[in-house]
Structure 1
C-alpha cells in the first residue's frame, strides 16, 4: 500500500470516528434539551446550560493538550517544536472554548421545533375518486431541476466559490444531488432565480466564509470544512435556510453528516440541527 493510500484510509477512518461522535453528541444534546424543557427551563437558559457544558469539554481538551509532553529523551530541537505546537493548539482550543460558551443560541428552540415536527401525525392519503368524463386532466408533473443548470448558475459568483483548481472535490455532484432532492416540487420553477437572490443577499457572509474557512485557509489545512468553496455549497446553504429538516433527512440517508455539520457550524443558520 502506498503512503498516499495509507494516509487517505487513515483520514477516512478519522472522519468516520468524528462523524460517530457528532451523531452521538447531537442525540445527547437533543435528549438534554427535551429534559430541560420538561422541567420548565426556557430556551435561552437551556442554550446557556448546554453551551457551558460544551465549552467545558473543550477546556478539558485544552488541559489535556497543555499537559502533554514530548517522548522521553527527545532531542532539544524536537522538544522545542513539540512545545511550540502544543502552545498553538492550546491557544486555538481556548478560542474555541470562548466562542462555544457564548454560541449555540437558538438550538433549544430548534430542538423544540424538531420535536413538534416529529410528533405531527401523518396525513391520511385520500382515496382517489373515480374518474368521470367531466373530470379535468391531471396537472402535468413538475420537471426535475437540471443539476448542470443549477451548477452553472452557482459558478457565476466567483467571490462565493473557490477557483476550480483549488477545490477539495473537482466533482461535487453527490452533494448537489442531495441538496436538490430537498427542493420541493412547488419550488422548482424559478429555483435558479431564487438561488441567485440568496447568494446576492448573503454576499458579505459568503465572502467572509470563503476567506476564513475556504481552500488555503488555516482551518481547511487540517482537512475540515471541505465543502466551503464548492459551487454546490451555495445550494446546500440555501436549503439549509429554507428547508433544514428536509435537507438533513436526505443528507443522512446518503452522505456523511460530518461535512454538513462542519458547514452548518461555520455558516450559523437560523435553525441549527447539529453541534
Structure 2
C-alpha cells in the first residue's frame, strides 16, 4: 500500500479546518433558532459520532482487500489491524458523545425528581423478574421472530433494571410494559430491523442489548425514568452498553416516539 502523498495529507487538513468552521456556523444558526447551547453541543456531537461510525464500514471493507502478493501470515495481520482500527473508530464515536455531555447536562440523581412520591426498591423479587421477562420474551419474539437469546443474561440484566421501577408500580409493571410495546410497536420494529442481527446497520457490536428481550424493558425505562435507570445501572452493568443502546433508541429510528397517556395511581 502506497504512502499518503503530501497533497492528500494537506487535503485532510483542509477538511478539518472546514469542518471546524461549519460547526461554528451551525452552532450560531441553532442559537438564533432558540436551541439551548448544551442541546446544540450534543446534537452536533451525535452527527460527528455518526460520521465516524459510517467511516467504520469503509475501514472494515479493507479486511477483504489485503495488499497484493501478501503471504498468509501477512494477510492475517492485515485483517487484525483493520479490525483494531474499526474498533477504535467505534470508541472515538463514543468518546465524541461522552465529551459533549458534561457541559450538556449536570450529573443526574439516582432517582427521579418526584422521588418523594415514590418508593425506591433495593432489589426486585425473582418472581417479578421472571414475570416481566415472560412478557418481554413474548413481545420480542413477536417483533423479531427470534428466540436465540441468552435467558440467563436477561435475568441478570432485569434484576438491575427493575430496581428503576418504584415499589408502587411493581405489581402493575408487566401490564405497563404491554401498553408501552403496543404504543411503540412500529418504533421497536424499526429498531430491531435496522440494528439487530442481520440488520442493515448492524455494524460490529453496537450493543449486546439489541439481541435480548429485556431491551424492551430498557426502552420503556429510558422513556419513563431515564435518570433512575442510569442510577440503577451505574456500577452494576457495563456503562458503554447502555450508552450505545440509548443512542439507538433515542436517535437511531425515523419512527417518532408516541406519547402514552398517563395513568392515575
TM-score using structure 2 length: 0.54
Whole-angstrom distance in 1 between the partners of 2:208 and 2:41 = 30
**Is the counterpart of residue 226 in structure 1 residue 220 in structure 2?**
no
**Is the counterpart of residue 209 in structure 1 residue 191 in structure 2?**
yes
Corresponding residue for residue 164 of structure 1: 147
Higher relative contact order (CA 8 A, sep 6+): 1
**Is the counterpart of residue 181 in structure 1 residue 163 in structure 2?**
yes
CA contact (8 A) 2:195 2:202 kept: yes
> Which is richer in helix?
2
Deviation of 1:53 (Å)? 5.0
Whole-angstrom distance in 1 between the partners of 2:102 and 2:43 = 11
CA contact (8 A) 2:191 2:249 kept: yes
- Deviations 1:109-144 (CA, angstroms, capped at 9, x unpaired): 9726x56x58x99x99xxxxxxxxxxxxxxxxxx94
2:219 corresponds, among 237, 250, 268, to 237
Q: Which stretches in structure 1 are left out of the alignment for 5+ residues?
A: 1-39, 125-142, 271-275
Pair 1:201–1:164, CA change in 2 (3 A): same
CA contact (8 A) 1:220 1:226 kept: no
Q: Which stretches in structure 2 are left out of the alignment for 5+ residues?
A: 1-30, 117-123, 252-256, 258-265
Corresponding residue for residue 46 of structure 1: 38
The correspondence of residues 30-179 of structure 1 with structure 2, limited to 5 A, is 43-52=35-44, 55=48, 58=51, 62=55, 74=70, 111=105, 144=125, 146-157=128-139, 158-161=141-144, 163-165=146-148, 167=149, 171-179=153-161
Whole-angstrom distance in 1 between the partners of 2:201 and 2:213 = 19
The worse-fitting range, judged by mean Cα deviation, of 252-261 and 57-66 is: 57-66
- Deviations 1:18-49 (CA, angstroms, capped at 9, x unpaired): xxxxxxxxxxxxxxxxxxxxxx9975343324
CA contact (8 A) 2:39 2:104 kept: no
